Amino acid sequence: MALRLGLVGAGFIAGVYAHAAARVPAVQLTAVASPRSAAEFASRWGIPHAFDDWRRLLAEAPIDAVAIAAPNDLHAPVAIAAAAAGKHVLCEKPLACGLPAAREMVDACDRAGVLLACAENLLFAPMYERAAALVRRGELGEPYLVRQVQAHAGPYADWFWQVDRTGGGALIDMGAHGVALVSRLLGAWPESVSAVLSRFLHAARTPAEDHALVHLRFPGGALATVEASWAAPGGADLLEVVGPRGRLVANLDRGPAIDLYREPGPGPGAGPSGWHHVMYEEAWQFGFPQELEHFADAVAGRAAPRFSGRDALRVLEIICAAYESARTGSPVVLPFESTAPRAIDHWLGAPAT
């Protein structure tokens, strides 16, 4: 029987989920909730139930689980209420705006006996899965340097500029991917973190950072750099791993794709002239259908969760420590305790106690 999934949110990432779910027989997208656009979204994707309030979705929709594709400040209230209603939870990264809310989410799902998984799609991206398999096979020897870059020119929705809604800037938004990916690739969590944050392009729109460089030191001495940016026109999504026997570079943003050239002048083709790199099956290349199928398998007990709520809690802890390092100018030893309601409070000022 297919997992009946309710979707909280109807923005860009919710559309990615809807597209991905159509490719996964093990998942049936049954309901969607959004205060303004649920009905239109449901009509577009053939979803039978639409609600203008996520609370109604939890109370009335015939669902087994929810996927939270809403702003970060809603992750905790939706997940906690879903757990109380006996629904499994797939939550977009970051788990919450800060560690206190994230801990509440994990505890609520543990008490209710429901699965809490974090939607870290890059762990399911075929190119990165293949890169990790090559590392595990020993092609490079024991890796000692890893670099992961997540970058674009800025968010797709206005709420990202509001730190009360996000918990931070590019670091908590994009850096969550990189921290999760390098930690999983190295098979360990880092021992310490240092970070430098900047405001290059978007200081007029947000007090948050739009560029972050994070350095992670792992047990045994391996080093990783995670670069997260809202200030990189053209974007990037790449992984580099170095070991004593070789070097690996996986450029997810540039392939697999089709090289397309358009002549200048009018014509039936849309877009500017020149060479273009056209990705195909983008949702699959970035791991979204695979992630949904795995979530259904984990709920059914057919697989152990690849990235659990506790894993996402650990990533958020590292991000909080990175903000603290950026404020103090010194490395921060892990584990790191935080009572700040927003991760960025460790950078903008003294955290709450």
Instruction: State the pLDDT at residue 263.
Output: 86
CATH T-level fold of 3-121+288-308: Rossmann fold (3.40.50)
Give the span between the Cα atoms of 143 and 224, in whole angstroms.
Answer: 10
Give the span between the Cα atoms of 102 and 215, in whole angstroms.
Answer: 23
Predicted confidence pLDDT, tens digits, the chain (353 residues): 999 999 999 999 999 999 999 999 999 999 999 999 999 999 999 999 999 999 999 999 999 999 999 999 999 999 999 999 999 999 999 999 999 999 999 999 999 999 999 999 999 999 999 999 999 999 999 999 999 999 999 999 999 999 999 999 999 999 999 999 999 999 999 999 999 999 999 999 999 999 999 999 999 999 999 999 999 998 999 999 999 999 999 999 887 788 888 888 776 656 788 888 888 888 999 999 999 999 999 999 999 999 999 999 999 999 999 999 999 999 999 999 999 999 999 999 854 43
Neighbours of 53 (CB within 10 A): 14
DSSP 216: E
Contact 190, 224 (CB under 8 A): yes
Sort 281 into a burial class: Cβ within 10 Å, 0-12 / 13-18 / 19+: exposed
Tell me the two tokens of residue 200. Answer: 């290059």
Instruction: State the pLDDT at residue 241.
Output: 98
Give the span between the Cα atoms of 193 and 209, in whole angstroms.
Answer: 17
**Domain map (residue ranges) of the chain:** 3-121+288-308, 123-285+311-348
Q: At a CB cut-off of 8 Å and minimum separation 6, what does 232 contact?
A: 151, 152, 153, 211
What DSSP element (H or E) covers 198?
Answer: strand 192-198
Instruction: State the pLDDT at residue 351.
Output: 43
Instruction: State the pLDDT at residue 269.
Output: 59
CATH T-level fold of 123-285+311-348: Dihydrodipicolinate Reductase; domain 2 (3.30.360)
Q: Considering Cα of 126, then 2, then 89, then 21, what sign does the dihedral take?
A: positive
Q: Could you tell me which of 96, 182, 84 has the C-alpha nearest to residue 131?
A: 182
Instruction: State the pLDDT at residue 11.
Output: 97
Give the span between the Cα atoms of 159 and 166, in whole angstroms.
Answer: 7
What are the pLDDT digits (tens) for 217-252? Answer: 999 999 999 999 999 998 999 999 999 999 999 999
60 residue type, one letter: E
Give the span between the Cα atoms of 76 and 98, in whole angstroms.
Answer: 10
Instruction: State the pLDDT at residue 266.
Output: 72
Backbone angles phi, psi at 213, to 5 degrees: -115, 120
Instruction: State the pLDDT at residue 268.
Output: 66
Backbone angles phi, psi at 51, to 5 degrees: -135, 150
Q: Considering Cα of 228, then 70, then 338, then 164, what sign does the dihedral take?
A: positive
What DSSP element (H or E) covers 336?
Answer: none
Tell me the two tokens of residue 154. Answer: 């800025």
